[in-house]
Chain A
């Protein structure tokens, strides 16, 4: 099944990307070629395979992987804020989201 321009527009919306017309048409053709190459995988018999099997490759690596909650020094606020727009501010600044 070919992936249409409408599908690409929808996927781009999900990915929060805006494409110009030139990008859109090249993406449609590239993505169709790449997805049809991915379709090769359909030939492979994967019945009775657990999709999460690879996670158990090295059990000891994941054992006790979670750290204890401990109080630690945090980053300096100024270093984390946007160097220009938020200079001297205490918050990240974004466009108004509540009318």
Chain B
């Protein structure tokens, strides 16, 4: 096995036993990126020099006994909407093409404290607005399983890099499925934590009441290790939870006897590709055979979830993106006539089409005369949706279903149909609307050999149950062991 194929857990052991050094491992990853990334387009920025310097320093600290975190010396990469001091953070937008943050995001600081080696910044949909990474200003990322397919999005670079062995793990962000859906399309594990568990300080805001940072990795155990490092209270994020979080590796228990699992019939309806539905139903059988009690349930409010999500997300986006006026940072137009022209042209030249569409929609639903009918109505619907999920979790430990209605589609296939694209977020957005944690893990392949993800959803702050269910499924199936052929290149 080559170095990039190992998990965090395995590499930690190799590093501890001095069978591999951190600079050696980092060099291997950087060489791989320079060899393969022109084919896949996962990275916007590769921080080669800084990574090698950092690798030497981390190795020294490990040798001195000053660092013993399981993440110490593991080369990883970060979605390009998470601020990294001194390293460009573009949000895959022309608007932030020249932005170099003067500070690190809370999660980045935490990872540095744990000895992480940052390889670079990963491609995404512009401002995380999209589900295919096609709206990036810089490049289109290809799916490592089939380079004619999208990697999903918006954290498409993160998922593709992990799946192709261009990073051992990655950070992504999930506003309406942006960690789980690309993890599903690329066959890796992606975890969206409970809203408030991980600080959003330094995450470029899209929809602040939904945004959450989380890990993408090869295994559930790796995700638990990363979550241990990034979770916890941060006074710089008003919505950061103060509760003590447990050690998530304690939840890596291969046993789900007696666990109660709900499968909403709305998640396995006719709008789901047959291969995907079969894989999810098969997963339910696996859980039952391991002693869980699986029951079909119904969440009738599901049909209102997508409009609720989009109205709130776009309203928040239009407000959050008002800060890009060309003054303090970001793209600035040349030779403006006056202040209004300066602001209008900076915004119009700096933002791409999907971002403009979402700002306009958000402005519309917040505008006088439409506010009550759309925005306020959606907030009320959000309360009802949250109540319905609370009710489900009174009886069930977790909910399972697909992550997306389809597997990875062709590049260009859906980009011109925004309504269709929005509707395909149906299974991921309820999690954000209700602030729940959820995970995507490999559960099968479609007829074109593309990976299928299983989504497991748990109650707020019940990541331990979520991780336990996912870990048990993983330990009793082989789907996560299959790798795209590019892994051998």
Contacts and interface: CB of A to CB of B under 8 A. Distances in A.
A17 B242 contact: no
A18 B345 contact: yes
A71 interface: no
A35 B419 CA distance: 10
Contact of A30 (B308, B357, B367): B357
A54 B383 contact: yes
Interface in B66-90: none
Given A61-B239, A96-B338, 7 more contacts: A30-B357, A34-B422, A41-B311, A58-B241, A58-B435, A61-B242, A61-B243
A52 B386 CA distance: 12
Contacts of A61: 196, 239-243
A97 B339 contact: yes
Interface residues of A, number: 54
Nearest to A83: B98
Interface of B: 98, 100, 102-103, 196, 209, 235, 238-243, 301, 303-304, 306-308, 310-311, 318, 322, 325-329, 332, 336-345, 347-348, 351, 353, 356-357, 359-361, 363-365, 367, 373-374, 376-384, 386, 418-419, 422-423, 435, 460
A96 B337 CA distance: 9
B377 A34 contact: no
B377 A46 contact: yes
A68 B425 CA distance: 40
B419 A80 contact: no
Contact of B460 (A23, A58, A97): A58
> Helix, strand, loop or mixed for chain B's interface?
helix
Interface string A17-31: 111000100010011
A50 interface: yes
B325 A12 contact: no
Nearest to B419: A33
A53 B387 CA distance: 10
A16 B344 contact: yes
A60 B419 CA distance: 38
A2 interface: no
A32 B298 CA distance: 31
Contacts of B344: 16-18
Given A30-B357, A31-B360, A94 B339 contact: yes
Contact of B307 (A15, A37, A60): A37
Contacts of A3: 364
Contacts of A82: 329, 332
